[in-house]
Amino acid sequence: MPLARTTTPTGQSPRKIGLLGGTFNPIHRCHLTLAHDVRQRLNLDQILFIPTGDPPHKHAVDLAPAEDRLAMVTLALEGEPGLAVSDLEIRRPGISYSIDTVTLLQQEWGASAELYFLVGLDAFLDLSTWRRAGDLLSSCHFVVVSRAGASFTELSRVELLPPLDNVALRDLESSRTDSLVFELPAARRLFLLAIPPCLVSATLIRERIRLGAGLDGLLPAQVESYILRKGLYRENHHLAGFKS
Ligand code: ATP
């Protein structure tokens, strides 16, 4: 299966590529700020947003159609340097597992690409539930960014990770340092990055739309217009079938 266009303008595969998977239901301002922040700090050539088709961890409640989520990511990334979108998980039938995506991209790009798997701390704390998480950890580098409500010190209880220095984790949590690097199997590395707190979540946006509340710059204007035009997230699926 051919992959989405992911080459640089020169036609060369970028050497250091960040992969940011998510439901992007919808994409919002914090996705963009975290991607730019990580790209700049780790000197990545490109960050590829990969909207998931059939997510293993999220229930289908309120999930907009894959083509709408892909369209919103595409709109949001217009004119954003170094950020691109791939539809590979959406085009792949069945559940989207990160290990399959990383394996596919490695086959496509070979040794010329170094992959960095970007994930928020909230999602990474569930690592042990991911399919073939041990294999994934040794397949690419990991970049875990801070997220309000999750603490780096909780990483010490995540199975599969090598022993992490608790004092260093506390320093990161309390802003005495803004990044840590640990060794993973197969010469991969785990980067823990504290990023400026960004309090937007897709859940918050969907809730505000349902309530008819304003979106006040929580997401790019072109994405907001798309949502309004298509009438996304207006219905309260939580209440479906529970009429009083
Ligand atoms: P939802 O509210 O529906 O759970 P979300 O806002 O977490 O959605 P996702 O599409 O699930 O959005 O996020 C993709 C990735 O971006 C995940 O790894 C998530 O942890 C990370 N992420 C999303 N929002 C933030 C944020 N505000 N700060 C840090 N990381 C974030």
Q: For residue range 120-179, what is the model confidence (pLDDT) as tens digits?
A: 999 999 999 999 999 999 999 999 999 999 999 999 999 899 999 999 999 999 999 999
Q: What is the pLDDT of residues 76-126, one digit of tens each?
A: 999 999 999 999 999 988 888 999 999 999 999 998 899 999 999 999 999
Q: Give residues (CB < 6 A) around ligand 1.
A: 22-25, 30-31, 34, 119-120, 122-123, 145, 147, 198, 200-203
pTM summary value: 0.90
Q: What is the pLDDT of residue 56?
A: 58
Q: How far is the CA of 37 from the centre of ligand 1 (A)?
A: 15
Ligand 1 atom nearest to CA at 24: 10
Secondary structure element (H or E) that encloses residue 166, with its range: helix 166-173
Residue with tokens 């022993």: 163
Separation of alpha carbons 35 and 28, rounded Å: 11
Mutate which of 24, 27, 29, 30 for ligand 1 pocket (most atoms within 8 A of beta carbon): 30
The residue ranges of DSSP E strands in 108-229, in sequence order, are 114-120, 141-145, 179-183, 189-193
Measuring CA to CA, how many Å separate 113 from each of 44, 102, 108, 141, 160? 11, 11, 9, 12, 25
Nearest residue to 124 via CA among 140, 105, 114, 137: 137
Separation of alpha carbons 169 and 161, rounded Å: 14
Q: Which two tokens stand for residue 62?
A: 């309120």
Mutate which of 201, 232, 233 for ligand 1 pocket (most atoms within 8 A of beta carbon): 201
Separation of alpha carbons 13 and 89, rounded Å: 19
Separation of alpha carbons 8 and 226, rounded Å: 27
Q: What is the pLDDT of residues 13-49, one digit of tens each?
A: 458 999 999 999 999 999 999 999 999 999 999 999 9
Cβ–Cβ < 8 Å for 42, 18 = yes
Q: Is the pLDDT of residue 2 over 70?
A: no
Q: Is 52 helix (H, G, I), strand (E, B) or coil?
A: coil
- CA pseudo-torsion sign 15, 6, 32, 236: negative
Q: What is the pLDDT of residue 83?
A: 98
Measuring CA to CA, how many Å separate 234 from each of 107, 116, 191, 212, 227? 41, 35, 38, 8, 9
Ligand 1 atom nearest to CA at 146: 29
